[in-house]
Structure 1
Amino acid sequence: MANITLAVSGSISAYKAADLTSQLTKQGHKVTVLMTESATQFITPLTLQALSKNIVHTNVMQEEEPRSIKHIDIAKGTDLFLLAPASANSIAKLAHGLADDPVSAVALALPIGVPKLLAPAMNTNMYLNPATQRNLHLLEEFGFQEIKPREALLACGDFGTGALAEIDIILEKVSQTLREK
């Protein structure tokens, strides 16, 4: 099976990363989880560690092994990179090459040819904002494939596009992408 790097950013949908981690692990994939600091406010790293059976990376500057650089090693060992949920902030960081957290640092260090998926989850106005749409377009040019958000009643009370795609849809896109690789 594949080495999947699951990156989790700060969105209320971060709690769904637990189901995603569990399902990918049950399918036999090795899941390495990266979290932004904001993501840890919605779900604990311990939850994802228990489900993935792997250390969850939350600090790009924390190096357990002095003979390696963790974000580079993770990137080199990645068969598929998945950012779910993808917040507007994380999308902007990736689009502009920032690397100040494990999610953005690993994404920037990925070898050419590694499939990259992202599943946005945010308020409708944030998703439809021209800056976010421009960043998504840039990421598409960089080889990222967007798993479109769905229209739903959002946590903020608004109804519109911005809800994280259903887990089954994300899992199918992961499977399809790995088959194509």
Structure 2
Amino acid sequence: MSRFVADQNRTEGSVHVLLIATGSVASIKAPLIVQELLSYDTIKIQVVATKPSLTFFDALKLKQTGTSVWVDEDEWDPNYQIGDPILHIELRRWADIVLVAPCSANTLSKIAHGICDNLATSLLRALAPSTPTYVFPAMNTLMYNHPLTNEHLHVVKEVIGYYVVGPIGKTLACGDVGLGAMAEWRDIVQIVVDRFSLRKLED
């Protein structure tokens, strides 16, 4: 994949949405979020996918929508030289809004502790505080109810300043019933629609 440069990929008048998918089964909803957002005018989307998230959706099919899907292997070119664009920096420069949907327990912990061990967490650490960032937790109920989760959410909301939406209660993929499911994907799209007053593309 060719090197990504923010200035060459931003379009005047468009809303640039960066979707980060992490290792929760709710990543199966990532293509639905992308497809629905693309039904609105002026939307541009880039997707960052952690390795575990790719268990749950087909990146090749998502790319057929014209959406780039970036993975850890795209971060550093073997022929990198000082001055070359750095992917996690260019993507954060590109984004008008960031959606971490879903945010697994593992990624939530990494964000709260400032860990930068993959493309997604490096990008989040490099984000400007002015970039609106929404986190949509998704995990097993007992993982969500773990005392550390509350601590991590406090840091993410009160220290870092991200918006946290959900989780919701339902029957989870593992068969348990309880709080922990990602917010409904249509509600995630609606957050972007409302924030930027988007209009549907005309048929």
Instruction: Give the counterpart letter for 2:58 in structure 1.
Output: T
Contact 1:80–1:178 under 8 Å retained in 2: no
Q: 1:41 aligns to what?
A: 55
Give the distance between the partners of 1:130 and 1:99, measured in 2 at CA: 23
CA offsets 1:103-140 (integer angstroms, 9 cap, x no match): 11111111121000011111011111111111111000
Q: TM-score, normalised by structure 2?
A: 0.82
1:33 is displaced (CA, Å) by 0.2
Equivalent of 2:90 in 73, 94, 119: 73
**2:3 counterpart residue number:** none
Aligned to 1:50: 64
1:117 counterpart residue number? 134
CA distance in 1, matches of 2:111, 2:195: 20
Q: Which amino acid aligns with 1:40?
A: L
Name the aligned partner's letter for residue 189 of structure 2: L
Match of 1:26, SS state, is coil
Whether contact under 8 Å (1:124, 1:161) holds in the other structure is yes
Does 61-70 or 143-152 show the bigger shift? 61-70
Report deviation, 1:40: 1.1
TM, length-normalised to structure 1: 0.91
- Structure 1 runs of 4+ aligned residues shifted over 4 Å read none
User: In the TM superposition, what whole-angstrom CA distance separates every residue of 1:65-112 from its partner, at most 9, and x where no partner exists?
Assistant: 942001100001110010001100011111111111121111111112
8 Å contact from structure 2 (residues 75, 119) kept in 1? no
Question: SS at 2:151's partner residue?
Answer: helix
Letter in 2 for 1:14: S
SS where residue 180 of structure 2 aligns? strand
Residues 76-87 of structure 1 correspond to what in structure 2 (within 5 A)? 76-87=93-104
Q: 2:191 aligns to what?
A: 173
> Distance in 2 between the 1:133 and 1:178 partners?
30
Equivalent residue number for residue 140 of structure 1: 157
**Corresponding residue of 2:22:** 9
- What SS does the corresponding residue of 1:81 show, helix, strand or coil? strand
Alpha-carbon RMSD across the aligned residues, in angstroms, is: 1.7
Equivalences, count: 178
In structure 2, runs of 5+ residues without a counterpart are 1-13, 198-203
Counterparts of 2:63 and 2:125, CA distance in 1: 23
Q: How does 1:96-111 map to 2 (within 5 A)?
A: 96-111=113-128
Work out the CA distance in 2 between the residues paired with 1:134 and 1:176: 30
Identity %: 32
CA radius of gyration, larger in: 2
Quick one: distance in 2 between partners of 1:117 and 1:177? 12
